[in-house]
Amino acid sequence: MSRNLFATQFMVGEALSLLSRLEMVKPFALSMPMVVAANIPDEALKGITDLIVSGNKELKKRVRDFVNWVKHSSSHNVSAEEVQSRFALLKLRFNDLLDELDIFADVTSQRAEHDTGVWVAGLDALAADALNLKGNYYKPPPVICFLERGHGAAIRRARTRLPSGADNPVAVIQVPRERMVGSGIASSLIHEVGHQGIALLDLIKSLRNEIRHKQRKSNYPGAWELYYRWISEILADFWAMAHLGIGATLGLINVVSLPRYFMFRIKLDDPHPFPWIRVKLSLAFGRAIYPHIQWQRYERLWSSMYPLNKVDKKTLMIINALVKTMPEFVKTVINHSPPILNGKTLVDIFPYTTRQPAHLQFLYNTWRFAPDVISSAAPSLVFAVIGQAHADANISAPTESKLLSTWLTRWAFLNAENRTKNESRVIIHEIKNLIND
Q: DSSP for 347-363?
A: GGGS-GGGG-HHHHHHH
**pLDDT tens sequence across 104-118:** 877 777 887 777 888
pLDDT at 340 exceeding the cut of 60:
yes
Confidence at residue 420, expressed as pLDDT on a 0 to 100 scale: 54
pLDDT at 403: 86
pLDDT of residue 33: 56
Residue 27 pLDDT class (50, 70, 90 cuts): low
In this prediction, residues 360-382 reach a mean pLDDT of 88
Mean pLDDT of 109-134: 88
Can you list the positions of beta strands (E) in 149-278? 154-156, 171-176
Residue 324 confidence (pLDDT) above 50: yes
pLDDT at position 397 over 80:
yes
By percentage, how much of the chain surpasses pLDDT 90? 50
* Model confidence band, residue 88 (pLDDT cutoffs 50, 70, 90): confident
Band of the pLDDT at 1, cuts 50, 70, 90? very low
Question: Is 383 a residue whose pLDDT tops 90?
Answer: yes
What mean pLDDT value characterizes the chain? 86
> What is the reported pLDDT for 41?
80
Which residue has better confidence, 254 or 436?
A: 254
Would the CA dihedral through 301, 304, 309, 315 be positive or negative?
negative
Cis peptide before 333 (omega within 30 of 0): no
- pLDDT at position 30 is 52
Instruction: Output the CA–CA distances (angstroms, integers) from residue 49 to 56, 105, 337, 430, in the order listed.
Output: 10, 12, 38, 7
Kindly tell me if the per-residue pLDDT of 73 is higher than 70. Answer: no
Q: What's residue 398's pLDDT?
A: 87
> What number is the average pLDDT over the span 137-155?
88
Please name which of 322, 284, 318 lies closest in space to residue 302, comparing C-alpha atoms.
284
Confidence check: pLDDT of 274 > 90: yes
| Rounded-to-integer distance, Cα 251 and Cα 370, Å | 27
> What is the pLDDT confidence band of residue 419, given thresholds at 50, 70 and 90?
low
More confident call, 431 vs 190: 190
The answer to whether residue 28 scores a pLDDT higher than 60 is no
- What is the per-residue pLDDT for 434? 43
Q: How far apart are CA 407 and CA 119, in angstroms?
A: 9
Compute the distance between CA of residue 240 and CA of residue 249 in angstroms, rounded to an integer. 9
